């Protein structure tokens, strides 16, 4: 089920790229962006993550932290983060429970095949822990610019 603006953001506690648990409580009272991407290293996921990296200063100036989430294991996330110089945490959601809670896991179609997987999605969460923006089933190219213009201005 997709989240709506004003909904309470789902609670989470997932290991980051270093294996350190990161949870909702770490962001209490803060604005933050969570983006879900299918897998570290493919071109679309790399584009999306590097676009967040390239716009990270603007998001921070606007008062936003950024979290990337994928089903990859911790070691793959660390390699991805290091290779691309990503300055924000990447969370490992190997059982896809966090993606499911955010409505970012479900049926997809790719080259005529239907399968269950991660739906590229982005959310902003306000300091009260409520969903402020949602973008479901987005294309990587140009998406971060749209998010930045809507939330940071």
| Burial label, 58 (beta-carbon count in 10 A; 0-12, 13-18, 19+) | middle
SS (H, E, C) 113-125: EEEEEECCEEEEE
Is 50 marked active-site? no
Which of 45, 90, 140, 147 is catalytic? The answer is: 45
Q: How far is CA 116 from CA 39, 71, 104, 109, in A?
A: 14, 13, 11, 9
The residues annotated as belonging to the active site are 45
């Amino acid at each position: 089920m997709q989240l709506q603006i004003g909904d309470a953001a789902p609670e989470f506690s997932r290991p980051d790229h270093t294996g350190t648990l990161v949870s909702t409580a770490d962001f209490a009272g803060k604005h933050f962006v969570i983006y879900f991407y299918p897998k570290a290293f493919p071109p679309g996921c790399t584009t999306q993550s590097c676009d967040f990296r390239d716009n990270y200063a603007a998001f921070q100036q606007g008062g936003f932290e950024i979290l990337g989430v994928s089903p990859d294991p911790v070691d793959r996330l660390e390699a991805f983060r290091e290779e691309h110089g990503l300055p924000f945490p990447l969370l490992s959601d190997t059982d896809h429970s966090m993606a499911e809670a955010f409505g970012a896991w479900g049926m997809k179609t790719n080259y005529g095949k239907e399968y269950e997987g991660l739906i590229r999605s982005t959310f902003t969460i306000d300091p009260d822990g409520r969903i402020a923006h949602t973008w479901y089933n987005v294309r990587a190219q140009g998406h971060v610019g749209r998010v930045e213009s809507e939330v940071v201005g």
